[in-house]
A and B are shown apart, each in its own frame.
Chain A
Amino acid sequence: MTPTPSPSGLSAPLPLPDAAPLAVRIQGLSHWYGHGSTRRQVLQGVDLSLQAGEVVLLTGPSGCGKTTLLTLVGALRQVIAGSVQVLGQELAGSSRRQRQQLRRSIGMIFQGHNLLRCLSAEQNVQMGADLLPQLSYRARRDRARQWLRAVGLAEQLDQLPHDLSGGQKQRVAIARALAAEPRLLLADEPTAALDSRTGREIVDLLRGLARGQGCAVLMVTHDPRILDIADRVLRMEDGQLVESAAERRV
């Protein structure tokens, strides 16, 4: 019997199998873009840890390196200097294949939702569920439906992204990210394209569902109205993390 997702957010966070209880552990991470004289440093000695199930927001001016940090944690880029451990796996010196495998355990939500245009809402979410091994097609489809119901789109299963509103598309993207049962969720300004009320709904939903899965969340945002959902708010400036006054525990 496979565990069904519990979108209600009532169940306790799943314990991590590793000895290290951290979802993310970054030490002395530096990163550069370009080569030679055009080489430009975007991250300078970043240290950061995320507990399992913790929701952390990352703010800061544009170009300060937030997105770069996100792509490095998301195993989308090769680590150049420093150490990044995600879900117990060291990413410095990792192979392309190791990163691809690790990405299956990381959910990603993008500013522009990035749904597959040719797939219905249900099929888009199932593309996430399809990453789970050892599940029948029917089980994966049922899972996709459950997640869409959890994000409040039970009526829009068969609609193409084209026919959905911006908020609905972002809900589908959340369902898709969570359907793969990630233990870490990365989100890059998920509310940027939404009005304030919808944005609020989306982040509340995101936090509730992530909590229910025991999934850590690292979210980049410029939106000051949603900072209160975070367990911690970090501020980044010129490639360095600075202590934030808004840091607090929920």
Chain B
Amino acid sequence: MRHPWQGRRIPLAWLLLTRQPARLAVALAGIAFAGILMFMQLGFRDGLFDASVTIHKQFDADLVLISPRTMSSIGMAGFPQRRLVQAMADADVIGITPVHWNLLLWRNPQTRMTRSILTLGFEPADRLFRDPALVRSAHSLTQRGRVLFDQLSRPEFGPVASWFRQGRVVETEVAGKRLRVAGLVSLGPSFGADGNMLVSRETFLELMPGTPPGSIELGLIRLRQGADPATVISRLRQRLPADVRILTKKGFEEFEKEYWRSSTAIGFIFTLGAAMGFVVGCVIVYQILYSDVSDHLPEYATLMAMGYPLRSLLGVVGREGLLLAILGFLPAWLAGQGLYALVRAGTRLPVFMEAQRSQLVFAMILSMCMASAALAMRKLADADPAEIF
């Protein structure tokens, strides 16, 4: 009869690691360092891509219309508003919102420095964002020259939010025109824009007097519940001329992310950074395991002389690698959490410890440790039990 606990052995790998605390600490510091490097690089990469669609995500729309000449949110081209009205003719379309979109120069009311701010112009009565809080504050825009300022904008735009909350009248200059802050919204900076503000279409056209009449940069389309966006898109494609591009809301976000992915070096740079973390980690773990095997070579040879098969010794080295991976991942994960919080506070990038990224980094640490263990195992071949007498 065989019980499971008959297989229990002395945890040699664990004891080899823990009875040399200095070496273990160095190994764990190295692995954690590599892990943190990977967490940060991948976090920045994903965070930057996510941040590019901070605004896109919040639109209250199922489909959007943009100009075919539009490449990204930092260069939105105009198209005839008529197309959006034509889309209304489709039976499944229940609502539309024409949106003006441009980057304008905002003057910091404190330092008088100007900075580019993303400005959206819409009819205050229309639905723009999903956030119901906006609907309440939107009607304050009906007065000319009023603006809703995004309180999550970077601090370079001035202490607008705190002044406003103190009850002060906050006035500044945008594109050479005087504007008064009528309220605060929470949107968040994106990759292309450090800050956001909302104005009525009337105010927008005052700020941008050169806008051709009847031209908008973005059209939001809301569908009847249960309608299939793909079918509606194919119907609209037939009905509308080729001077508009029709996307689902998700497709609009992907369109933006793809711009940053393909036409900038961001993805490459940060993936390369993560790969460097991987390589550095491999070197550290290999050094540790190799010197561990070298130092204990006579002991391994003794075990072989006692009748332990080589594969059980390979197993010891493999388990050392596994333990190092697990023990090294934990501090890396914890430090990653802390650093992500710092990044969020410092840059307002939406960087969070996502399960998928944690799994990816753990898989990389694990393969790093196991690959190093496999390389260190070759040293075990030098353990000749005949040499120890």
Contacts and interface: CB of A to CB of B under 8 A. Distances in A.
A110 interface: yes
Given A76-B385, A76-B386, A123-B15, A114 B298 contact: yes
Contact of B10 (A111, A117, A123, A160): A123
- Most chain A C-beta atoms within 10 Å of own C-beta, residue among B16, B307, B308, B385: B307
Interface string B294-320: 001011001111111110000000000
Interface size class of B (residues with CB under 8 A): 20 to 34
A100 interface: yes
B9 A74 contact: no
A67 B386 CA distance: 9
- Most chain B C-beta atoms within 10 Å of own C-beta, residue among A103, A112, A160: A103
- Most chain B C-beta atoms within 10 Å of own C-beta, residue among A97, A115, A119: A119
A110 B306 contact: no
A118 interface: yes
A135 interface: yes
A92 interface: no
A117 B299 contact: yes
Contact of B15 (A70, A118, A136, A188): A118
A22 interface: no
Given A100-B307, A119-B15, A126 B10 contact: yes
- Most chain A C-beta atoms within 10 Å of own C-beta, residue among B2, B6, B16, B306: B306
A128 interface: yes
A110 B302 contact: yes
A127 interface: yes
A135 B10 contact: no
Contacts of A112: 298
A134 B2 contact: yes
Given A100-B307, A136-B5, A137-B8, A116 B302 contact: yes
Given A74-B305, A103-B305, A131-B306, A110 B389 contact: yes
A111 B12 CA distance: 24
A200 interface: no
A70 B389 contact: yes
B238 interface: no
A136 B4 CA distance: 9
A136 B3 contact: yes
Contacts of B302: 110, 114, 116
Contacts of A149: none
The 4 closest A-B pairs by CB, nearest first: A104-B307, A103-B307, A118-B19, A137-B8
Given A76-B385, A101-B307, A137-B9, 5 more contacts: A74-B389, A100-B309, A108-B305, A116-B12, A119-B12
